[in-house]
Amino acid sequence: MTTLTATETLLHKGSGLQVVVGLGQSGLSVANYLTKQGYHVAVTDSQPTPVLAEQLPAAVDIRQFGAIDAELLQQAARIIISPGISLDTDAVAAARRANIPVVSDIQLFCEACTVPIVAITGSNAKSTVTTLVGQMAADAGVNVGVGGNIGVPALNLLASSDMQLAVLELSSFQLETVTNLGAQVATVLNMSPDHLDRHGDMLGYHQAKHRIFQGAKSVVINREDALTRPLVADNLPRLSTGIHAPDKGHYGLITDPEGQIYLARGTERLLSADKLQIKGRHNLLNAQAALALGELAGLPLDSMLNTLQQFTGLEHRCQYVATAAGLDYFNDSKGTNIGSTMAAIEGLGAVYAPKDGKLLLILGGQGKGQQFGELTPFINKYVSQVLFIGEDAKQIEQHLRATKLSDEVALHQCQTLESAFATIQQVTISSLSQVQAVLLSPACASFDQFSGYAARGEHFSQLVSQLATDI
């Protein structure tokens, strides 16, 4: 019997060709991980000269750029696809028909990870909740790795040999190729139409999101959203969250006779809402979700509540920018779907409504096949002016006009943010204007005019700063 050395064992194990499709940050992390494991790795990307190509390890000797190489994929023992590439891409679809396994970097991570995983997805707020849970764990003295769809590719977290807990934000694109994630605790925070251009319809989107529950040891459920409820065994440990008073052992909100709102667990008041630095009803749900996830991951409640009071939120997520000419400006550029924008309108609108104030809303960009008429009830209640920008601006206006939009809501085509700011000054100069806050919450992708939502948000903030300086 021949005895293999450690290196030979790895090479033997990795004798089948592993083809990485897409060379973004996740694709680079996969190439690095697999080559270190001794696999034979090839990389293909549709870009002629991918920016990250120079960072590929030398062991990657097959590099096919300029198009996704269909012939190369047919030679693969396994394909690891980047989240930005659709499974319906011709070369990938042909490989799947040939029964070649197609997985994501998250599949590789969960197969290698030996510590508990907190897995978080949802149409909105997943970055906020992921960051908050990660901070709660760190503040409790846990060596935590935070990554996935937020910042650090999941596989890079494995470089920390003393990691005790992994907190992952997961997108529907990552989840559609994951099987049996096996998270310690998993949640779908909320569900609203998004990425329908990729998933085809809400059923496809829902099915992708709910793969997060496969093999989960416990779950967190949003009582306000039936689409978040998983089909799992009745005896699986679970906690729920909601805007109403909770049942025993679950999370919710309690309002005292004076109208003060509290985060609560059962009948126990945990924290007054006015002690949170993140505002709006949607953030009260986010806070509950983080507490419930942390509890099921074993984090101490007192420590989590201390973290919660210090948490200031994320950039580009309902972020207060400045007050200029009597108007408060909020940057919610990360609001790239209608569900997120609904939450932003309702969360901030409820703050200004008691003062008879209205919002001026900036919408637009790339609409991703969404039906924007679903925003109408929220606009009618909280918004007096809507400004449209970007590629699908006219289509979005048509969607709103086709619904029961209030005659009191004025619509303006602006195309660019610069034009929108000129319009803001025109429509709010009247003493009769009810506008007290300007909200950039586009409900759209940004790639028609910007490199991403962050660039859009930064440009918005620069325009606000310039306005404040000019006054």
pLDDT, tens digit, 9 for 90 and up, residues 339-359: 889 988 988 887 788 778 999
Q: In the chain, count H helices and then E strands.
A: 16, 20
Other CB atoms closer than 10 Å to residue 78's CB: what's the count?
Answer: 17
Joined tokens for residue 229? 């409820």
DSSP string, 113-143: --S-EEEEE-SSSHHHHHHHHHHHHHHTT--
Other CB atoms closer than 10 Å to residue 63's CB: what's the count?
Answer: 17
459, containing H or E segment: helix 453-470
Whole-angstrom CA distances from 57 to 15, 54, 104, 159 are 18, 8, 19, 16
CATH for 15-103? 3.40.50.720
Question: What pLDDT does 157 receive?
Answer: 97
Residue of 67, 59, 66, 65 whose CA lies nearest to 40:
59
Which residue did the predictor score with more confidence, 72 or 228? 72
Question: What pLDDT does 312 receive?
Answer: 81
Whether the CB-CB separation of 149 and 129 falls below 8 Å is answered with: no
Give exposure, 414-443, as e/b (b: 16+ Cβ within 10 Å).
bbebeebbebbeeebeeeebbbbbbbbbbb
Rounded CA separation 331/367 (Å):
19
**Domain boundaries for CATH 3.40.50.720 within the chain:** 15-103
Catalytic positions, please?
126, 149, 195
202, containing H or E segment: helix 202-209
Joined tokens for residue 396? 């979005």
Percent of the chain with pLDDT over 70: 94
Domain 319-470, classified CATH 3.40.50.300, yes or no? no
Joined tokens for residue 338? 């209608």
Average pLDDT on 106-122 reads 96
Sign of CA dihedral 427, 465, 333, 242: negative
Joined tokens for residue 323? 């007050």
Tell me the residue ranges of DSSP E strands in 72-230.
Answer: 78-81, 102-103, 117-121, 144-148, 165-169, 185-188, 219-222
Tell me the residue ranges of DSSP E strands in 88-153.
Answer: 102-103, 117-121, 144-148
Exposed, middle or buried, 147 (CB in 10 Å: 0-12/13-18/19+)?
buried
Tell me: pLDDT of 195 over 70: no
Sign of CA dihedral 427, 433, 434, 438: positive
Percent of the chain with pLDDT over 90: 71
Q: Which residues partner with 42 through β-bridges? A: 19, 62
Domain 107-310, classified CATH 1.40.20.10, yes or no? no
Joined tokens for residue 49? 């000269």
Question: What pLDDT does 413 receive?
Answer: 98
pLDDT band at 1 (very low <50, low <70, confident <90, very high): very low
Question: What pLDDT does 348 receive?
Answer: 85
Task: Give the distance between the most distant pair of CA atoms in the chain.
Answer: 91
> Which residues, including other chains, have CB under 8 Å from residue 414's CB and lie 6 or more apart?
362, 387, 388, 389, 393, 420, 422, 423
Task: Tell me which of 267-281, 396-410, 441-455 is least confident.
Answer: 267-281
Task: Tell me which of 184-188, 198-202, 425-429 is least confident.
Answer: 198-202
Question: What pLDDT does 45 receive?
Answer: 95
341, containing H or E segment: helix 338-352
Whether the CB-CB separation of 181 and 216 falls below 8 Å is answered with: yes
**Domain boundaries for CATH 3.40.1190.10 within the chain:** 107-310
The amino acid occupying position 445 is A
pLDDT band at 119 (very low <50, low <70, confident <90, very high): very high
Average pLDDT on 358-381 reads 95
Question: What pLDDT does 385 receive?
Answer: 96
Question: What pLDDT does 107 receive?
Answer: 96
pLDDT, tens digit, 9 for 90 and up, residues 30-84: 999 999 999 999 999 999 999 999 999 999 989 999 999 999 999 999 999 998 8
First to last CA, the chain: 84
Rounded CA separation 70/2 (Å):
37
Exposed, middle or buried, 53 (CB in 10 Å: 0-12/13-18/19+)?
middle
**Domain boundaries for CATH 3.90.190.20 within the chain:** 319-470
Joined tokens for residue 87? 């499974």
pLDDT, tens digit, 9 for 90 and up, residues 302-322: 999 999 999 988 888 888 888
Give ∠ CA 231-236-241 in degrees, rounded to 5. 80
Tell me: pLDDT of 4 over 50: no
Joined tokens for residue 272? 């007054």
